[in-house]
Chains A and B, each alone.
Chain A
Amino acid sequence: MKKKLVSALLCATMAVSLLAGCGSSSEAPATDEPAAEAPAEDAEAPAEDAEAPAADAGAGQVYYLNFKPEVDEVWQSLATQYTEETGVPVKVVTAASGSYEQTLMSEIANSEAPTLFQINGPIGYQNWKDYCADLKDTDLYSWLLDKSLAVEGDDGGVYGIPYVVEGFGIIYNDAIMQKYFAMDGAKAASIDDIKNFDTLKAVVEDMQAKKDDLGIEGVFASTSLTPGEDWRWQTHLANVPVFYEFKDKDITDTDALEFTYSDNYKNIFDLYINNSCTAPGLLGSKSVDDSMAEFALGQAAMVQNGNWAWAQISGVDGNVVNQEDVKFLPIYTGISGEESQGLCTGTENFFSINSQASAEDQAASIAFVEWLFSSDTGKAAVTNDLGFIAPFNTFSDDEKPTDPLAQEVIRYMADSSKTSVAWNFTSFPSQQFKDDFGAALLEYASGSLTWDDVKALVVEEWATEKAAIAEAAE
């Protein structure tokens, strides 16, 4: 009898644990859909209309899978506004930070798949080409200022349209810098003197030594190396040496990276981790939010990030940084000729329309994006709320964002004596490569890997991941 009971119990627990296993794997992405209650559609659109994508957009609906959690609210309110104006239902779902690809992958398999999503450049297009519609005939493409920015397929079609130009560099707090320049024995007289890595290093190390007088805890905010929070280093910072390597070889992509400028990467990375408000061994517990907060609270004088970070800086409670004090410095790494280097500007945000969505939905999605970048409401939201520097000719000069970092990006781009560093990281092989690189940086920071190990790993991973991607694409 007892045995029977036990076996019954065992069966029950087994079933329960199996179910539990199933349950946990189906965790849905965080969906919040304010405007989602789609009014009953009259889906019976005439078949003729369905052929022409530019046709009746009113019959379709839009489902946008948003990439940046920090601007989720803006997108939600834009969706509501658009629905109020046109009656077309717009649903915006935001993928959790760092999980866009996963979310897109599971969402696009649904019957209610995203109609509008984004890819991150040529590599992203390779992954999603089965789902990207040709946008060559859209108004949006015709508005694009620099058509070379768009993602083109082998057949000459346009499959991704960039909707924002962004820039990143070293953000500094001018108030702290002025305080330093005013000190006796300052290594530079003004920010204009910092034109290369040697000066930057001298200034930073001197500032670190005088940090108590400056009232800061360290020159650089934490080099966040928590897995998933390390994109500023394995992607953005890595862009600089890769850019120069590509430039030397006059290529835009390669199957075998030599990482010739790895020592330059080490230069700046060492400077970051050794002159920071956090000890190198502790960097594995820091997130991007942590470092932006340190900067916003005046505990650090510099932080590497892009113009999108302004929202984060100004949003920190108790923020002591004045808007006019937030400025950009290019990332100097000790490469010869870097005096004329500008910020890293480019984009990895391309809109794509789901080619497997119904024609009405595709048309509705295109109409939504075109509304966004041409109507006054849309443009105002793009410039002021999203803070985008939109690369379209529909924007006049007075419709540029006013946030200080975007202004800085525009200033650097307009300065003809500076050469912008292009965003070559869009050709980095895969997320896996970036993650492995980030993990190696973490181990380097905590002392369990040497720099040579890191360099070897980057070179090797680049080659294997490029090969894996080529194989997968076959």
Chain B
Amino acid sequence: MQKTLKRYFPIFVLPTLIAFSFAFIIPFVMGVYLSFCKFKTITNAQFIGFDNYIKIFANKDFINAFGFTVKFSILAILTINIFAFALAMALTRKMAGTNLFRTVFFMPNLIGGIILGYIWQQMINAVLLKYETTLVANATYGFIGLVVLMNWQMIGYMMIIYIAGLQNVPTELIEAAKIDGATSWQTLIKVKIPMVMPSITICLFLTVSNCFKLFDQNLALTSGAPSKKTAMLALDIYNTFYGRSGFEGVGQAKAVLFFIIVAIIALSQLALTRSKEVEQ
């Protein structure tokens, strides 16, 4: 049985591998190549070496976008995970309507980012109308708006993952802690959190990568206004690529750099949290 499986392994893998190559590997390799090219459309590329990478830093847009992204990500990742965990704790108690609450909290996650962005833009502008200002008048408004929007969208998803983790904490351990006289705070820190570490790994990974790669919500909510002060990395790349003629290669180079940054951050985060996981 094992042998047959092994023999036919390439055949079983092939369809997926082909799809994966077409949808991912080939575009990715082409993208990296294009970042070293000057091109208008991808069919008339011309190799120019590292020029594009040098041009990235010719103006401050990328650096500013990076700063904004980091600022946003730190705040969003912290708030999303703390709120999601708190909600998960609350909704794993035996109380009426937990299933309803779980569904309701999860629902925002089912709405697409662009739509969410416009909905929140309308809502925030409606509130700001009273103060005769708008979301795009001040970069701080946009920043707070984005954080709130991301929280609203992602808390539900993370909450579900934390709930699954919390439900898997063996009751013997909690009982044992209780008998040993641990307070509920101590139980949380010393027993529950170490036991749900795998969930934390997943949640952190998801929030880190989603926050860094955020595009739709950013585009719909503020589109970088005012004066690109609320533009995140993905939006800056998009604007570079499409916004200015002759900068397609620079946009591509930014995208490659962006990939490297996100990969480094996500992988180091994974390694860090994985090392804290405990075997049951």
Which of B42, B44, B216, B244 is within 8 Å of A24, CB to CB?
B216
Q: Which residues of B contact A281 (CB under 8 A)?
A: 131-134, 137
A40 near B: Cβ within 8 Å? no
B50 near A: Cβ within 8 Å? no
A-B contact pairs, 21 of them (CB 8 A): A3-B279, A6-B198, A10-B270, A17-B210, A18-B24, A21-B213, A22-B23, A24-B215, A228-B223, A279-B132, A281-B133, A282-B133, A284-B135, A284-B137, A285-B135, A442-B225, A443-B137, A443-B226, A448-B137, A469-B246, A472-B245
A252 near B: Cβ within 8 Å? no
- For the complex, what is the distance from the CA of A442 to the CA of B141, rounded to whole Å? 15
Q: Which residues of B contact A105 (CB under 8 A)?
A: 40-41, 242, 248
Docked-complex contact A227 and B206, CB < 8 angstroms: no
- For the complex, what is the distance from the CA of A109 to the CA of B41, rounded to whole Å? 6
- For the complex, what is the distance from the CA of A432 to the CA of B245, rounded to whole Å? 9
Known pairs A109-B41, A439-B227; A10 contacts B215 (CB<8 A): no
Question: What are the 7 closest A-B residue pairs judged by CB atoms, nearest first?
Answer: A472-B246, A109-B41, A446-B137, A284-B134, A439-B227, A284-B136, A127-B245
Shortest Cβ distance from residue A127 to the other chain B in the assembled complex, whole angstroms: 4
Q: In chain A, residues 430-447, which have Cβ atoms closer than 8 Å to a Cβ of chain B?
A: 430-432, 435-436, 439-440, 442-443, 446
B202 near A: Cβ within 8 Å? yes
Chain A CB within 10 Å — which of B228, B246, B247, B277 has the most? B246
Interface string of A266-298 (1 = CB under 8 A from B): 000000000000010111110000000000000
B243 near A: Cβ within 8 Å? yes
Chain B CB within 10 Å — which of A282, A283, A465 has the most? A282
Question: Which residue on A lies nearest to B136, using beta carbons?
Answer: A284
- For the complex, what is the distance from the CA of A431 to the CA of B246, rounded to whole Å? 12
Docked-complex contact B243 and A435, CB < 8 angstroms: yes
B280 near A: Cβ within 8 Å? yes
Shortest Cβ distance from residue A430 to the other chain B in the assembled complex, whole angstroms: 5
Docked-complex contact B202 and A468, CB < 8 angstroms: no
- For the complex, what is the distance from the CA of A227 to the CA of B239, rounded to whole Å? 13
Docked-complex contact A3 and B277, CB < 8 angstroms: yes
Known pairs A127-B245, A440-B227; A17 contacts B133 (CB<8 A): no
Interface string of B42-78 (1 = CB under 8 A from A): 1110000000000000010000000000000000000
Known pairs A281-B132, A430-B244, A442-B226; A13 contacts B215 (CB<8 A): no
- For the complex, what is the distance from the CA of A17 to the CA of B211, rounded to whole Å? 12
Question: Which residue on A lies nearest to B41, using beta carbons?
Answer: A109
Docked-complex contact B246 and A473, CB < 8 angstroms: yes
Which of B23, B44, B125, B246 is within 8 Å of A130, CB to CB?
B44
Which of A13, A128, A446, A473 is within 8 Å of B206, CB to CB?
A13
Q: Which residues of A contact B270 (CB under 8 A)?
A: 10
B224 near A: Cβ within 8 Å? yes
Known pairs A109-B42, A284-B135; A448 contacts B226 (CB<8 A): yes
Shortest Cβ distance from residue A7 to the other chain B in the assembled complex, whole angstroms: 9
- For the complex, what is the distance from the CA of A285 to the CA of B133, rounded to whole Å? 9
Docked-complex contact A6 and B41, CB < 8 angstroms: no
Tell me the count of chain A residues lying within 8 A, CB to CB, of chain B: 51
Known pairs A17-B209, A109-B42, A130-B40; A10 contacts B202 (CB<8 A): yes
A471 near B: Cβ within 8 Å? yes
Q: Which residues of A contact B27 (CB under 8 A)?
A: 22
A251 near B: Cβ within 8 Å? no
B129 near A: Cβ within 8 Å? yes
Docked-complex contact B225 and A10, CB < 8 angstroms: no
Shortest Cβ distance from residue B247 to the other chain A in the assembled complex, whole angstroms: 7
Docked-complex contact A468 and B135, CB < 8 angstroms: no
Docked-complex contact B202 and A282, CB < 8 angstroms: no
Q: Which residues of B contact A186 (CB under 8 A)?
A: none
Question: Which residue on A lies nearest to B58, using beta carbons?
Answer: A468
B36 near A: Cβ within 8 Å? no
B79 near A: Cβ within 8 Å? no
Q: Which residues of B contact A440 (CB under 8 A)?
A: 227
Docked-complex contact B138 and A448, CB < 8 angstroms: yes
Docked-complex contact B136 and A227, CB < 8 angstroms: yes
- For the complex, what is the distance from the CA of A45 to the CA of B104, rounded to whole Å? 62
Known pairs A227-B223, A284-B136; A22 contacts B246 (CB<8 A): no
Q: In chain A, residues 225-247, which have Cβ atoms closer than 8 Å to a Cβ of chain B?
A: 226-228
B201 near A: Cβ within 8 Å? yes
Docked-complex contact A468 and B198, CB < 8 angstroms: no
Q: In chain B, residues 231-250, which have Cβ atoms closer than 8 Å to a Cβ of chain A?
A: 242-248
Q: In chain B, residues 6-32, which have Cβ atoms closer than 8 Å to a Cβ of chain A?
A: 23-24, 27
Q: Which residues of A contact B85 (CB under 8 A)?
A: none
- For the complex, what is the distance from the CA of A465 to the CA of B44, rounded to whole Å? 24
Given contacts A442-B225, A443-B227, 17 further A-B contacts (CB under 8 A): A2-B198, A2-B280, A3-B277, A17-B206, A17-B210, A24-B216, A109-B42, A128-B40, A227-B225, A279-B132, A281-B133, A282-B134, A284-B137, A285-B134, A468-B244, A468-B247, A472-B247
Shortest Cβ distance from residue A350 to the other chain B in the assembled complex, whole angstroms: 16
Docked-complex contact B202 and A227, CB < 8 angstroms: no
